[in-house]
A = this chain, B = another copy of it.
Amino acid sequence: MTEALAHPELIAVLTALTDDAPRVMTVAMGKALPSGPFESAHSSLQAGLRAWVESQTGHPVGYLEQLYTFADRDRGFEPAEHRTISISYLGLVREQPPPGSGGPLWKDWYSYFPWEDLRAGRPEILEQVTDMLSQWAASERPGRAARRHRLDFAFGLNGMAWNEELVLQRYELMYEAGLIAEAGLAPAFWFGRPMAADHRRILATGIARLRAKIKYRPVIFELMPECFTLLQLQKGVEALAGLTLHKPNFRRQIDQQQLIEETGETTSGTGGRPAKLFRYRHAVREERALSGSRLPVARM
- How many chain A residues sit at the interface, stated as a range, is 35 or more
What CA separation (Å) do A73 and B42 show in the bound complex?
Answer: 8
Q: Shortest CB–CB separation between residue A222 and chain B, in angstroms? A: 20
A46: chain B residues at CB < 8 Å are: 74
A153 to B48, CA, bound (A): 30
Q: Tell yes or no: A186 within 8 A of B by CB.
A: no
**Is A71 part of the binding interface, using a Cβ–Cβ cutoff of 8 Å?**
yes
A45-B74, A71-B38 known; A85-B169 Cβ under 8 A = no
B66 to A44, Cβ gap below 8 A?
no
Kindly identify, within residues 32 to 53 of chain A, every residue whose CB is under 8 Å from any CB belonging to chain B. Answer: 37-46, 48
Question: Binary interface profile of A, 1-45, with partner B (CB < 8 Å = 1, else 0)?
Answer: 111111110000000000000000000000000000111111111
A13 shortest CB reach to chain B, Å: 15
A239 within 8 A of partner (CB): no
Q: Is the CB of B37 within 8 A of A2?
A: yes
Residue contact B83 to A40, C-beta cutoff 8 Å: yes
Chain A interfacial positions (CB closer than 8 Å to B): 1-8, 37-46, 48, 66, 68-71, 73-74, 80, 83, 85, 87, 149-150, 153, 163, 166, 169, 286-287, 290-291
